[in-house]
Amino acid sequence: MKIAPSILSADFSKLGEEIAGVLDAGAEIVHVDVMDGHFVPNITIGVPVVKSLASSVKAPLDVHLMIENPEKYVPEFAKALASADGRDLKQDYIVVHAEACEDLSNCLQLIKSKGVRAGFSVKPGTPIEQYEQVLPLADLVLIMTVEPGFGGQKFMEDMMSKIEWLVGRRDTSGGKLAYEIEVDGGVNEETAGVARKAGADILVAGSYVFGAEDRRGAVESLK
């Protein structure tokens, strides 16, 4: 199990220190929520912050684009990741929302053409089964267990059926499918156990990790 704290819950006045702290506490990935105020009702960060993180954070970056027309912006985010000297782009992810893509297959291929791992996400109300044909292109599939846009929402346990379906497709593919399965939304010690049991590989956690007095204990409790 890999833990990916979301910087949405970090103190941005000392972001570098905050990220270093959770990585030192045992987290493996840094989750970067990009919101445009259109696809979701919130606005967060953009390309300049991702560029800064690429230069200052050695750990993999998981750039979650909760934006409309992601095809238009993927090249800029990939360029931001590539701007850091010596960075291995194969460790990083750009994740788009299936609902926001005009053609999800083309969008995933665009990401992969930039040398970055390609992922896609679905909202709670979106059936994952309708994207079975694009699974061979995915390095990661992100299942939202809350409505995207804001932190602090309650974990939707009924989304575990999507994870179980993805695990089943991967396990019976004869090695043709090798995506990681990520869960984002309402993750804490209790719900992490539910996600682990369903077969998740990566857990995104925001306030549960960044808001903890004992961050190492918080990370370990998710694993």
Mind telling me the catalytic residues?
Answer: 33, 184
3-state secondary structure the chain: CEEEEEHHHCCHHHHHHHHHHHHHCCCCCEEEEEEECCCCCCECCCHHHHHHHHHHCCCCEEEEEECCCHHHHHHHHHHHHHCCCCCCHHHCEEEEEHHHCCCHHHHHHHHHHCCCEEEEEECCCCCHHHHHHHHHHCCEEEEECCCCCCCCCCCCHHHHHHHHHHHHHHHCCCCCCCCEEEEECCCCHHHHHHHHHHCCCEEEECHHHHCCCCHHHHHHHHC
Instruction: Note whether 120 and 97 are within 8 A (CB).
Output: yes
b/e code 113-135 from CB counts within 10 Å (16+ = b): ebebbbbbbbbeebebeebeebb
